[in-house]
Amino acid sequence: MILLTFTSCKLVAYEKYMRKITVYYGSSGGFTGATDTYILSGKGTLSHYNSLKKDTVFLKTIDKDVLKNLIKKFDDKAIKGINLMKSGNMNFFIRIDGNGKELRNFQWTTDTELPVEIKNLNEILQNLIRD
């Protein structure tokens, strides 16, 4: 019974932590110089911001379990150890903020060879837009 209580407390603490996370990802530059940013809140809302239109559009709400698994990936030791800040004409990015502070920031160009962890993370994020 004590283990169950500890697990429940840990789950509640993790869910509070999740709510403070915001993930920004997308692209910028290219011919138009526009930035397309997808914003995933720790509450599960996914929105899109386009710098040319200057508007934010709600897209959908992400399933709680999908969100939890995604946020766990940001805490992976392999992700924490990656330093990726390359810029060029067309840039892609993933930035994770927690409680208003930047926790992780990755930026790359079309010709950057991505670490497999970032490639997989980006694929998961891109699939949120498509699904």
What is the model's pLDDT at position 7?
43
Q: What is the mean pLDDT of each run of 10 residues along the chain (131 residues)?
A: 42 58 92 92 95 95 90 82 89 92 93 93 94 74
**For the chain, which domains are there?**
2-130 (3.30.1560)
What is the model's pLDDT at position 125?
96
What is the model's pLDDT at position 15?
56
Spatial distance between the Cα atoms of 99 and 19, rounded to a whole number of angstroms? 9
What is the model's pLDDT at position 11?
43
Spatial distance between the Cα atoms of 69 and 48, rounded to a whole number of angstroms? 21
Spatial distance between the Cα atoms of 128 and 100, rounded to a whole number of angstroms? 23
With vertex at residue 10, the alpha carbon angle to CA 82 and CA 24, rounded to the nearest 5 degrees, is 35
